[in-house]
Structure 1
Amino acid sequence: MRSSSVVIRLFVVTTFIFVVFVTIAFVIQLRSFETYYYDLKIKDIDAQYESFEMLYDEAKWNQTLLDQNVQYFENKNNVKVALVDYHYGIINEQKYKIFVMDTNGQVYEVELNEVFTPEDYLSLSVNRGDEIDVYGYLWGDDLSNISLMQMKINDVMVFDGIDPKVRGKLSLDHISGTVLSLRIPDEDDLIYGAGKNSLATAVDKYYFNQGDLNITDNSFIFSDYETGREYIVKVFNVGDATVKSIFFMTDQQPIIEATTALKSFYPALITGVFIVGAVMMFFLIFSISNPLYDIERKAEKLVQLDFTEYLEVKHNDEIGRLSKSLNHLSYNLENSLKALNEANEKLVEDMAKDREVEHMRKEFIRNVSHDFKTPLGVIRAFTEGMEDGVLEEDLSYYAGIILDEVETLEALVNDMLELSKLQTGAYTLDIEEFHFNTMVEGLIEKSQKLASKKQISLAFTGAAYDLVYGDYRKLSRAVQNFIANAIQYGDAGTEVTLMTTVIERRIRFEIYNHCAPIPEAYLEKVWVKFFRADESRTKSGSGSGLGLAITKEILEQHQCKYGVANTESGVVFYFEMDKYVNHIV
């Protein structure tokens, strides 16, 4: 991945944006979450008050039922409730007491409210059956209540509220006995209801010292100056005959502790978010950059006119559609370039053919001129001699020579016309079924007279199977040309051997003659019109020079394999054609 690529820039930018976004989100959360939590708790208190109000309006509780139902509601909803009367006292305030029975069976109540602090309750160790001594003032209709000034349990001083300056000057009541039962607060009660920093203190602050409170819509945060804990308090004004207002208090400390912990954890959290975000962005950018890299590599290959590779399209998104378009472009360019190359190659071939045709035309004119010139010269010479009276004797002999030359010219013209028809496609093969050996034997019979002039013998060996499918007349011409060529160029007194064999599904014809070998450079040129290996062009026979060219065209129209090769003692011409079962259609 190149450092200057768009992928690196995209990775850096997206990672930066991600980290900035997360950082802003955390900052906003830290600044607004406490407010959000406060509003949420206020809504929760409002809903709790509606539920409590319905219970309170439906049933007029006595003090015992009021204490029980309020305590049940507080435990169920994790909230503390204070019903405040018109004297700013809490009607449902929990009374914490120790019940003492003396030796006479008299039961006394020791009031602990507004006397014990939370620390006093936590340090108090008292159980039923313990011996207890209490000093204070008896009160009540039956003097069964005692205000606490000093208390011993099992002869151990557990509370002493008497000022040493007045100790001995006070006339205090004294009760002694055993602990019959006790009602003291647990830790939750200490948080909400016992001692100076209780819900009662929040009531006092609301009515008599609001300067310390930030009250909004009858709700405020109450702070315990000793523990530092904070509580949310909501005041509902009732105004009935007994209750002036109802206070709801719930603890805000968990959210404060969570926010404080989050602030301390903030640097590590941002670092972790940065690392995780960078990794996620890397894989995200990699998933985008990988197809982009493939597209770039494909584009570079297109510049180099390399169309061999196509992009894999995995998704139908913008990158997928771009890949499809690039594949179509590559396909169209490849086809256009291929068509252009084919047209160029065809143009080159046409130009080569034109040059070859021009060369053949010139060669043809030169050859035809030569082949026509000799017989025409002979005809002219003998005709002029006869006209001048020089050849008055034996006119029939010279007339015969002139006739032979005319026949030569006629044969040359006929061969040229036949070759032209074969090359231009003006001739249509007349396909039929026939026995190839029978045709060869007939041609050998016709060539015996020509062969005997050079004392050449003709020998033929035929294959057992010889049924073929082709143009009998044209194939006869081809074989006749091979025989005439073998006799013309064969050494006198030798044998020309003809043979047919079956090779797989084809019939092979071969003809051997004894003569000087053809130079290797000329083996493929023997099929060309008027070509002779003898550059002096001395004619050794009466051929037109078109026989093998005509034979080549006939064999190619029959889809035959053909060729020529040198042997140890001469030359062999051959061709192969399908048997009847694989005939030309």
Structure 2
Amino acid sequence: MSKSIRSNLFISIITLLISFVLILCILNNLYLQQYYINKKKNILIENAKKLTDMYTGDPDDIQNELDIIANVTGSSIDIRDKDGKIIYRSSRRFANEKSVMDNNKFKSSAGQSEISNKINEYKEGKYTFETRTDVQLKVDFLTLVTKLSNGDILAIRVPLVSIDESVAIANRFIIITGIIIAALGIIWAYLFSRKFTKPILEVNDIARNMAKFDFDKKCKIKRKDEIGQLGQSINYLSSELDTAITELNIKNAKLEEDIERERKIDEMRKEFISSVSHELRTPLSVIQGYAEGLVSNVTESDEDRRFYCNVIMNETGKMNKLVKDLLNLSQIESGYFHIEKTEFNLTSLIDYVLNKYKSIFVEKNIEIQFEPRESLIVSGDMIRIEQILTNYINNAINHVDSNKIIKVHEAKTNRKVKISVFNTGNHIPKESLEKIWNSFYKVDKARTRAYGGYGLGLSIVKAIQELHNNFYGVQNIEGGVEFWFEIDKAQLKK
């Protein structure tokens, strides 16, 4: 069974804490005594230098300073003359001592030559440390010995037993402190590991819920460290996954709709092919019949011949329109439907298109309403804009009611010109307002077939406006239907 993060963290902290206490005890035992002795040596050297600078040959001159140093450092101070005779001693008792290093005794009974030889070993400005033992007291001393400027010998000694006691006390203190720290550390490590792993367990629980596609539960971690950031990231990931899955479901639904729409479009195309075949066959048959009649000279009068010719021309016009629409549709679907922008007078173009339909307006008794303003210079593909106007006006003519009114209106905004074509007549059903821009779509199939429409004109308008990056649309208003489109104003040249 694998250990939890909480257990591993708890064990790691305790191990680290105990290791630290053990290392501290070992270092203290190995190096604290030597460190303490070195510090004592530095203190003795500093005081020896101070006494050396102040000493003039008479200890009485620096009696106060000698007493202060002896009391502060806990040491005893001796000064001997060149012959080894004691001329100053800070303690009342004469130390019966020997050097551990060379076992030489410093007694008053020692020979003069022996004392002189020992004194000559010390040099002025050089500080010699010796470990000496008081033979009577059996106490070791750390002794600093140096020669003063007049040849006298200064000896400052401190008992090593005080150093040993200090080190032992320090060791005991560290052991006791280590035990207390370890005990408190165990409690702290348990509480810390529990607090530390609690948000991780919370994140793990939320991750499990996310795996089950449950994104309702969120992290409530308020920390500002990496774990807090992890909680925020988990919340963000949960929200993003929730959004992504929701969007995916929506897109799947839309894909199903698109598939259904494509199926309907395919059905419309099949119907279109059938209609086109019928529409092509019908005018071709009519043209063939009337052309054969003209060739056979079955007509007896000029009026009959003109009628035959008009029929042939009308059927040819329908076929030409169908072929043009098919060509435009092919260009749209293949991506070769392009525009060439130029600057032109939009008002003049509207007048030109309306004049082309003047005879039809008269023939069908349609009232055309258009009040041209000042010249509107726009930027766009003039041929394609003419195609939009033509499709809108054809659509208005084919759907105008008995009131027979068509209105063309132009309006300016800051950067656009909006052109609208209104015809009196029945409203377009709401469910068809968006669909009429699709290829092959017909609101009233019977009526569309009657005037020779194939459901391509408005889809071509849509493609032209999208290439211009401009808006277009249709709306049912009081009395009829209004189609509109926008075009860019021409930029004024400075």
> Which of the five TM-score ranges fits, normalised by the shorter chain?
0.5 to 0.7
Match of 1:365 among 273, 283, 288: 273
2:404 is matched by which residue type in structure 1?
T
Counterpart for residue 433 of structure 2: 523
Per-residue deviation, 1:544: 5.1
Match of 2:469 in 1: 559
Q: Which residue of 1 aligns with 2:385?
A: 475
Conserved in 2, the CA contact under 8 Å of 1:457 and 1:494?
A: yes
Query: How much does 1:515 deviate?
Result: 0.8
Partner of 2:451: 541
- Equivalent pair of 1:222/1:233 in contact (CA under 8 Å): no
Aligned-partner SS, 2:353: helix
Deviation at 1:575, TM superposition (A): 0.7
Q: Is the contact made by 2:28 and 2:171 (CA closer than 8 Å) also made in structure 1?
A: no
State yes or no: 1:252 paired with 2:161: yes
Matching residue of 1:6: 5
- Give the Å deviation of 1:450: 0.4
Does the alignment pair 1:421 with 2:360?
Answer: no
**Structure 1 SS opposite 2:487:** strand
C-alpha displacement of 1:511: 1.2
Q: 1:378 aligns with which of 286, 304, 309?
A: 286
Partner of 1:81: 95
Is the aligned partner of 1:19 residue 2:18? yes
Residue 139 of structure 2, aligned match among 226, 229, 232: 232
Change in Cα spacing, 1:553 to 1:12, as seen in structure 2 (3 Å) is closer
| 2:365 is the alignment partner of 1:455 | yes
Deviation at 1:10, TM superposition (A): 2.8
Is contact 2:403–2:424 with CA below 8 Å preserved after alignment?
A: no
**Aligned residues of 2:25 and 2:171 also touching (Cα < 8 A):** no
**Counterpart code for 2:139:** I
Q: How does 1:197-216 map to 2 (within 5 A)?
A: none
- Cα deviation, 1:436-495, whole Å, max 9, x if unaligned, reads 112112222221210122211101023446111122222122212212221221123422
Residues 80 and 249, structure 1, Cα contact 8 Å, conserved in 2: no
Q: Aligned pair in 2 of structure 1 residues 218, 512: CA closer, same or farther (>3 Å)?
A: closer
- C-alpha change, 1:578 and 1:251, in structure 2 (3 Å) is closer
Return the offset for 1:286.
10
SS in 1 for 2:446: coil
C-alpha separation in 2, matches of 1:28 and 1:425: 84
Contact 1:375/1:406 (<8 A) preserved: yes
Q: Secondary structure at the match of 1:518?
A: coil
Q: Distance in 1 between matches of 2:134 and 2:23?
A: 29
Deviation of the 1:23 alpha carbon? 5.6
> Are the structure 2 counterparts of residues 271 and 379 from structure 1 closer, same or farther at C-alpha, using a change threshold of 3 Å?
same
Which residue of structure 1 aligns with residue 83 of structure 2? 59
- Aligned-residue CA RMSD in angstroms? 5.7
Is residue 492 of structure 1 aligned with residue 402 of structure 2?
yes
For residue 143 of structure 1, what is the aligned residue in structure 2? none
Q: Is the CA contact (8 Å cut-off) linking 1:518 and 1:571 kept in structure 2?
A: yes
Work out the CA distance in 2 between the residues paired with 1:221 and 1:297.
Answer: 78
TM-score normalized with structure 2 length: 0.59
Cα distance change of structure 1 residues 80 and 485 upon mapping to structure 2, 3 Å threshold: farther
Equivalent-residue separation in structure 1 for 2:179 and 2:492 (angstroms): 84
Q: Is the 8 A contact 1:81 1:249 kept in 2?
A: no
- CA deviation profile, 1:545-579 (whole Å, cap 9, x unmatched): 43333333333322221111111211101111111
Confirm or deny: 8 A CA contact 2:97 2:133 kept in the other structure: no
Mapped partners of 1:56, 1:450: distance in 2:
145
Number of equivalent positions: 388
**How many Å apart are 1:287 and its aligned residue?**
12
Q: Which amino acid aligns with 1:506?
A: K
CA displacement, residues 382-411 of structure 1 (integer Å, 9 cap, x when unaligned): 578889x89666662445434432332233
CA distance in 1, matches of 2:289, 2:354: 37
1:366 Cα deviation (Å)?
Answer: 2.7
Amino acid at match of 2:321: A
Cα separation, 1, equivalents of 2:450 and 2:331 = 28
Q: CA 1:284–1:22 in 2, change beyond 3 Å: closer, same or farther?
A: same
Q: 1:569 to 1:403 in 2, by over 3 A?
A: same
d(CA) in 2 for partners of 1:475 and 1:249?
113
**In structure 2, what is the equivalent of residue 269 of structure 1?**
177
Tell me if the contact between 1:515 and 1:569 (Cα under 8 Å) persists in the aligned partners.
yes
Preserved CA contact (<8 Å) 2:465 2:472: yes
Change (3 A) 1:57 1:271: same
Letter in 1 for 2:182: F
Does the 8 Å contact 1:463/1:502 carry over to 2?
no
Which structure's CA Rg is the greater one? 1
CA distance in 2 between counterparts of 1:510 and 1:546 reads 20
Report how far residue 370 of structure 1 moved.
3.3
Change (3 A) 1:448 1:80: farther
**Other structure's SS at 1:81 match:** coil
SS at match of 2:451: coil
Partner AA of 1:443 in structure 2: V
Q: Within 2, Cα distance between the matches of 1:419 and 1:470?
A: 20
Seen in structure 2, the aligned counterparts of structure 1 residues 574 and 220 have a Cα distance that, compared at 3 Å, is same
Cα distance change of structure 1 residues 410 and 59 upon mapping to structure 2, 3 Å threshold: same
Unaligned regions of 5+ residues in structure 2, if any? 46-75, 99-104, 110-130, 142-156, 220-224
| Alpha carbons 1:518, 1:566 under 8 Å: kept | yes
CA contact (8 A) 2:95 2:134 kept: no
- What corresponds to 1:507 in structure 2? 417
Q: Please tell me whether the aligned partners of residues 561 and 576 of structure 1 are also in contact (alpha carbons under 8 angstroms).
A: yes
Aligned to 2:50: none
CA distance in 1, matches of 2:106, 2:344: 136
Would you say the 8 A contact 1:517–1:570 is kept in 2? yes
User: C-alpha separation between the residues in 2 aligned to 1:528 and 1:83?
Assistant: 121
Change (3 A) 1:13 1:471: closer
Structure 2 residue identity aligned to 1:415 = D
1:229-378 equivalence runs, <5 A: 231-233=138-140, 250=159, 252=161, 255-256=164-165, 259=168, 269-274=177-182, 277=185, 358-359=266-267, 361-378=269-286
How far apart are 1:368 and its partner, in Å? 1.6
Give the secondary-structure state (helix, strand or coil) at the position aligned to 2:481: strand
Maintained 8 Å contact 2:37/2:163: no
Give runs of aligned pairs for residues 80-99 of structure 1, distance below 5 A: 81-82=95-96
SS at match of 1:273: helix
Provide closer, same or farther for how the CA distance between residues 543 and 452 of structure 1 changes in structure 2, counting only shifts above 3 A: farther
Task: Compute the displacement of 1:512 (Å).
Answer: 1.0
Quote the offset at 1:59 in angstroms: 0.8
1:342-380 alpha-carbon deviations (Å, 9 max, x no partner): xx99xx79x959767745642431332232233234346
* CA distance in structure 2 between the aligned counterparts of 1:391 and 1:15, rounded to whole angstroms: 119
Q: Are 2:315 and 1:405 aligned?
A: yes
For the 8 Å contact 1:486–1:513, the answer to whether it is kept is: yes
1:106-117 → structure 2 map (5 Å cutoff): none
Residue 500 of structure 1 contacts residue 507 of structure 1 at CA under 8 Å; is this kept in 2?
yes
The amino acid that maps onto 1:81 is A
Deviations 1:150-203 (A, max 9, x none): xxxxxxxxxxxxxxxxxxxxxxxxxxxxxxxxxxxxxxxxxxxxxxxxxxxxxx
